[in-house]
């Protein structure tokens, strides 16, 4: 199977190279009109078919690796290092992306899959798709060259083959790790598609904004995959690492967050180009930067440049990535300079108090946040290069800078929908902002009266102050978005005579892109509410003998037993804790510590009880060697469930935004009213 997999990768490289060369020649012939033995159209079609065949070749290689894992073929070094016989079947799939070579193969397979779909849909615009497919083939050649020459996944083990493998990293033996890396990679790899369309459209001086409309679906789906991947990673860190948190500003966490920020900026600013013909150069460079940041994230993880729980060991593939990123950057700069006259804006921002300016400020804030995170992530590398020693940038730096930036961005999220295009009158500002302002101050007063104050015992708690501001701004943003739904729903209600809720549903279906976006923004608001709860986290640590108790918040933990267990994959130690609230037993928790037999590495299995108000988070820290009693650490983390609820709303809102809208005429046929329904009047602020 190793020979089959290696041969499949070699064939895939040859097919991708042909796709690149033949596609490039065909596009050149089309541009110059030079005579050739074969027509450019025919040559371009053979290149496209080679790209399709490349997908099947990479799929065959991926199948070979998975088959080798399930058949315990330890003659392959990669399988020996990342699997073992006792590994459960679900986690054998995880072995594919647990190491550098396998994760790069997954990258290449997902890229080939995206390319396969792209090439099958080429008739939407044959020439533009030919450019995009050829550029995508260049990226495929890069990854397939690495897999064939620098990091081969089917390299054979030299020496006597051991009877069993080293086992999967214990951190990956968790259900979410079966889907988190593929979801993250779907986001990383997916941004290659809009990048290829943007670069191709610029190369051919593509007229109009059709390339944006073509790639909008690609970009939104990719953005959703990356969003889900990031939050799945957060939940994994929360449930597995046992430190009580979900985001530690780890370099690899940052690497996934940076392209999310620029991708989010791109999704917002392309609306300006579609509607107003503005920000054309800005949009092109946003998608260029997003693709380069996905490459940087892949480099940081796979080349071992940074210290991270997520990163692999040091490797030699860093040089490959440096060269490729320089080639991509050089190509982008050269093409932009050559074609920049094609990107002149058709209009300009007329007023600072307008929807156009809110989009612009939104983009600037997102880019500032991205730069701050990029600087902090790369600073250890830069400091080592300059000073000879690594200077690590820790969470306090990011929190001090990113939290105020995030709050300002949240503020803009609420301001944007309330501003009209071009310019806002003072009367309109007063009318549209009065409800959000009331919501802001009402929330601030309620929190100050009912909750902890940022200043107490003569000290000022900046974390609690930011939480107060976050909740108040969140209330204002929610009020602003809700007022948009209510205002539009009232118009539909007058037209149809249906109830307000049904009218808002119909409003959303008429303009899915706009109101789906609003639902996404509400999801972000809910996430911010949950994140702000971290300012009020509490923790207690205590050794617990039989029937010893640990109190935290309203809960009391009573140790009713502790023991150990074992199976073919790991040994474990655990404690049984009865949890009381108000003197009554509520439930039982069982935190655990495992030691995996193949690798002899420990793993914490956290016990979590979640409510909308808080999470009771319990960790088995170890045992006191003198008496064998477990050491238990308990956290009380407010509002964590709101984070995951917000993500679900973002997913729902994205699906709504991707759904095709129904026209007012079609909607009228579905509403049981006697009179003719007039066309929907323009909503306040226009449509994005």
pLDDT at 319: 87
Residue 204 carries which DSSP code?
T
One domain, residues 12 and 111: yes
Q: How far is CA 180 from CA 171, 173, 234, 297, 643, in A?
A: 12, 12, 10, 15, 17
In this structure, is residue 397 part of a structural domain?
A: no
pLDDT at 205 over 80: yes
One domain, residues 561 and 636: yes
Maximum pairwise Cα distance, the chain? 89
In this structure, is residue 354 part of a structural domain?
A: no
Rounded mean pLDDT, 362-372: 92
In this structure, is residue 513 part of a structural domain?
A: yes
Count how many Cα atoms sit within 13 Å of the Cα of residue 59 in the half-sphere of its side chain.
11
pLDDT at 332 over 70: yes
pLDDT at 35 over 80: no
Total tally of structural domains belonging to the chain = 4
Rounded mean pLDDT, 215-220: 90
Q: With CA atoms as reference, report the closest residue to 6 among 69, 73, 64.
A: 64
| Parent domain of 309 | 174-343
pLDDT at 93 over 90: no
Tell me the percentage of the chain whose pLDDT exceeds 90: 54
pLDDT at 421 over 80: no
One domain, residues 203 and 116: no
pLDDT at 687: 38
Mean pLDDT of all residues belonging to the chain:
87
> In which band, very low, low, confident or very high, does the pLDDT at 6 lie, cut at 50, 70 and 90?
very high
> In which band, very low, low, confident or very high, does the pLDDT at 673 lie, cut at 50, 70 and 90?
very low
Dump pLDDT digits (tens) for 477-490: 999 999 989 988 99
> In which band, very low, low, confident or very high, does the pLDDT at 678 lie, cut at 50, 70 and 90?
very low
Query: How big is the chain by its Cα radius of gyration, in Å?
Result: 28
One domain, residues 244 and 143: no
One domain, residues 37 and 158: yes
One domain, residues 126 and 155: yes
640 Cβ neighbours under 8 A, 6+ residues apart? 238, 246, 530, 533, 610, 614, 615
pLDDT at 682: 41
Of the three residues 319, 343, 367, the one that is the final residue of a domain is 343
* Cβ pair 556, 580 in contact under 8 A: yes
One domain, residues 530 and 607: no
pLDDT at 479: 93
One domain, residues 71 and 218: no
pLDDT at 123: 84
- Mean pLDDT check: name the lowest of 146-150, 193-197, 422-426: 422-426
In this structure, is residue 332 part of a structural domain?
A: yes
pLDDT at 355 over 90: no
> In which band, very low, low, confident or very high, does the pLDDT at 374 lie, cut at 50, 70 and 90?
very high
- Mean pLDDT check: name the lowest of 74-88, 205-219, 292-306, 532-546: 292-306
Of the three residues 168, 201, 232, the one that is the final residue of a domain is 168
> In which band, very low, low, confident or very high, does the pLDDT at 684 lie, cut at 50, 70 and 90?
very low
Handedness of CA 317, 320, 326, 331 (dihedral sign): negative
In this structure, is residue 400 part of a structural domain?
A: no
One domain, residues 327 and 474: no
In this structure, is residue 372 part of a structural domain?
A: no
One domain, residues 16 and 30: yes
- Mean pLDDT check: name the lowest of 24-33, 162-171, 299-308, 475-484: 299-308
One domain, residues 576 and 629: yes
Dump pLDDT digits (tens) for 64-83: 999 999 999 999 999 999 99
Tell me the percentage of the chain whose pLDDT exceeds 70: 91
Q: With CA atoms as reference, report the closest residue to 287 among 308, 266, 302.
A: 266
Rounded mean pLDDT, 230-259: 90
532 Cβ neighbours under 8 A, 6+ residues apart? 466, 467, 470, 471, 474, 639
Whole-number Å distance between alpha carbons of 94 and 98: 6
In this structure, is residue 462 part of a structural domain?
A: yes
Helices then strands, counting H and E runs in the chain, come out as 20, 12
Dump pLDDT digits (tens) for 97-150: 888 899 999 999 999 999 999 999 888 888 999 999 999 999 999 999 999 999
Whole-number Å distance between alpha carbons of 218 and 224: 10
In this structure, is residue 30 part of a structural domain?
A: yes
CATH code for position 276: 1.20.120
pLDDT at 379 over 70: yes
* Cβ pair 654, 187 in contact under 8 A: no
Q: Where are the alpha helices (DSSP H) in 303-317?
A: none
Whole-number Å distance between alpha carbons of 593 and 413: 43
In this prediction the pTM is 0.90
Rounded mean pLDDT, 179-208: 91
One domain, residues 572 and 665: no
pLDDT at 304: 60
* Cβ pair 281, 343 in contact under 8 A: yes
pLDDT at 649: 97
pLDDT at 306 over 80: no
Rounded mean pLDDT, 657-671: 68
pLDDT at 341 over 70: yes
Of the three residues 294, 328, 343, the one that is the final residue of a domain is 343
Cβ neighbourhood burial of 506 (10 Å; 0-12, 13-18, 19+): buried
pLDDT at 676: 41
- Tell me which of 307 and 185 has the higher pLDDT: 185
Dump pLDDT digits (tens) for 519-535: 999 999 999 999 999 99
Rounded mean pLDDT, 578-584: 92
């Amino acid at each position: 199977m190793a020979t089959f997999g290696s041969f499949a990768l070699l064939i895939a490289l040859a097919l991708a190279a042909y796709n690149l060369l033949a596609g490039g020649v065909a596009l050149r012939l089309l541009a110059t009109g030079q005579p050739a033995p074969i027509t450019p159209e025919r040559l371009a079609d053979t290149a496209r078919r080679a790209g399709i065949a490349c997908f099947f070749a990479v799929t065959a290689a991926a199948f070979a690796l998975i088959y080798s894992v399930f058949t315990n073929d330890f003659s392959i070094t990669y399988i020996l290092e990342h699997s073992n016989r006792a590994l459960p079947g679900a986690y054998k799939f995880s072995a594919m992306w647990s190491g550098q070579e396998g994760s790069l193969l997954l990258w290449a397979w997902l890229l080939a899959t995206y390319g396969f779909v792209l090439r099958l849909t080429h008739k939407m615009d044959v020439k533009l798709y030919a450019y995009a497919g050829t550029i995508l083939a260049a990226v495929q050649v890069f990854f397939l060259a690495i897999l064939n020459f620098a990091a081969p996944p089917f390299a054979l083990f030299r020496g006597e083959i051991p009877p069993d493998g080293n086992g999967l990293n214990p951190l990956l033996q968790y259900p979410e790790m079966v889907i988190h890396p593929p979801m993250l990679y779907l986001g990383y790899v997916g941004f290659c598609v809009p990048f290829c369309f943007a670069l191709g459209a610029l190369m051919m001086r593509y007229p109009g904004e059709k390339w944006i409309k073509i790639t909008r679906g690609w970009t939104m789906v990719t953005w959703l995959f990356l969003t889900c991947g990031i939050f799945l990673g957060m939940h994994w860190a929360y449930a597995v690492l046992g430190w009580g948190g979900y985001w530690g500003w780890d370099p690899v966490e940052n690497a996934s967050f940076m392209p999310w920020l620029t991708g989010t900026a791109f999704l917002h600013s392309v609306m300006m180009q579609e509607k107003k013909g503005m920000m054309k150069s800005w949009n092109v460079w946003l998608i260029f930067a997003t693709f380069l940041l996905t490459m940087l994230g892949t480099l940081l993880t796979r080349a071992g440049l940074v210290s991270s729980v997520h990163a692999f060991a040091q490797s030699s593939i860093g040089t490959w990535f440096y060269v490729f990123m320089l080639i991509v950057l050089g190509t982008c700069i050269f093409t932009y300079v050559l074609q920049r006259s094609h990107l002149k804006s058709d209009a300009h921002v007329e007023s600072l108090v307008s929807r156009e300016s809110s989009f612009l400020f939104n983009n600037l804030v997102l880019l500032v946040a991205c730069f701050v995170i990029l600087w902090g992530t790369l600073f250890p590398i830069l400091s080592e290069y300059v000073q000879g020693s690594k200077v690590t940038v820790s969470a306090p730096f990011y929190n001090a800078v990113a939290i105020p930036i995030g709050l300002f961005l949240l503020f803009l999220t609420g301001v944007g929908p309330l501003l009209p295009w071009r310019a806002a009158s003072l009367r309109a500002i007063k009318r549209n902002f009065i409800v959000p302002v009331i919501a802001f101050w009402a929330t601030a007063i309620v929190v100050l009266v009912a909750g902890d104050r940022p200043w107490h015992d003569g000290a000022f708690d900046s974390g609690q102050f930011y939480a107060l501001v976050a909740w108040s701004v969140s209330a204002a943003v929610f009020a602003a978005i809700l007022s948009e739904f209510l205002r539009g729903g009232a118009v539909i209600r007058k037209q149809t005579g249906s109830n307000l809720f049904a009218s808002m549903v119909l409003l959303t279906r008429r303009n899915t892109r706009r109101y789906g976006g609003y639902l996404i923004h509400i999801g972000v608001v809910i996430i911010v509410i949950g994140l702000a709860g971290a300012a009020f986290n509490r923790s207690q640590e205590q050794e617990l003998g039989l029937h010893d108790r640990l109190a935290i918040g309203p809960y009391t933990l009573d140790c009713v037993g502790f023991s150990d267990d074992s199976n073919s994959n790991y040994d474990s130690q655990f404690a049984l804790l009865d949890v009381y609230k108000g003197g009554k037993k509520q439930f039982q928790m069982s935190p655990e510590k495992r030691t995996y037999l193949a690798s002899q590495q420990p793993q914490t299995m956290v016990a979590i009880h979640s409510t909308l108000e808080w999470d009771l988070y319990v960790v088995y820290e170890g045992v006191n060697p003198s008496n064998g009693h477990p050491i238990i650490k308990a956290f009380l983390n407010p509002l964590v469930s709101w984070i995951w609820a917000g993500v679900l709303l973002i997913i729902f809102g994205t699906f709504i935004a991707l759904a095709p809208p129904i026209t007012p005429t079609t909607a009228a046929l579905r509403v049981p009213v006697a009179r003719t329904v007039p066309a929907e009047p323009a909503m306040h602020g226009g449509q994005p």
